[in-house]
Amino acid sequence: MNPAGRRITEKLSDDALSAATGKDWAAWFALLDAWGATSRTHTEIARHLVEAHGVPGWHAQSITVGYEQERGMREVGQSSGGDWQVSVSRTVNAPPEQVTEAFADPEVRRHWLPEGGFALRTHRPGTSLTADWEGGTSRLSVYVTPKDGARTQVGLGHTKLPDADAVAAYKDFWKERLAALKTLLEN
């Protein structure tokens, strides 16, 4: 298995894709091959799926990523621009403002996130924040979404990673750190 994770074709089944779009992976790949998609950009492919085939946005992105991975145009964990990135999410029983504060406030942050060179760039309380990581060699983006009751979904993206091994390591790291954040905020 790829250290960065599973291909999208392994996560989204033929049956689910076909139910949502009318075609399975093989049919979409054949259609895109006939269109000459290997010489197109990610944006061009996704736009073509939406405009010419009426594929909804999320599925157009999924088909595009699946096609690019299948045709060797990108690896798992690699963006369409070639850089490496990872994303993780967690739902916590805390309000959005408390979640963003746990990232922004160094005193709170030290209880769940070991020093790793976190340098806050932007902070929109209860909404989002960005930070440099390890001296700016990579970047973090955190978005929070209120859920039912007092629950909040935390989505963390870590970009500008050097390779697939870093993607795999940081995926595990951020899963552990968001679990620690959850424990802190819920106790």
CB atoms within 10 A of CB 52: 10
Do residues 130 and 140 lie in contact, with contact meaning Cβ atoms separated by under 8 Å?
A: yes
- What is the reported pLDDT for 164? 85
- What is the reported pLDDT for 80? 79
Q: Would the pLDDT of 76 be above 90?
A: no
Domains of the chain, CATH where assigned: 8-70 (no CATH), 84-186 (3.30.530.20)
- What is the reported pLDDT for 177? 97
The C-alpha atoms of residue 14 and residue 20 are separated, in whole angstroms, by 10
Q: How confident is the model at residue 3 (pLDDT cuts 50, 70, 90)?
A: low
Give the model confidence (pLDDT) of 89-110 as tens digits. Answer: 999 999 999 999 999 999 999 9
Give the model confidence (pLDDT) of 140-182 as tens digits. Answer: 999 999 998 889 999 999 999 998 889 889 999 999 999 999 9
- What is the reported pLDDT for 1? 53
The C-alpha atoms of residue 60 and residue 45 are separated, in whole angstroms, by 8
Give the model confidence (pLDDT) of 127-143 as tens digits. Answer: 999 999 988 889 999 99
Taking the CA atoms of 70, 75, 80 and 85 in sequence, report the sign of the dihedral they define: positive
Give the model confidence (pLDDT) of 26-59 as tens digits. Answer: 999 999 999 999 999 999 999 999 999 999 988 9
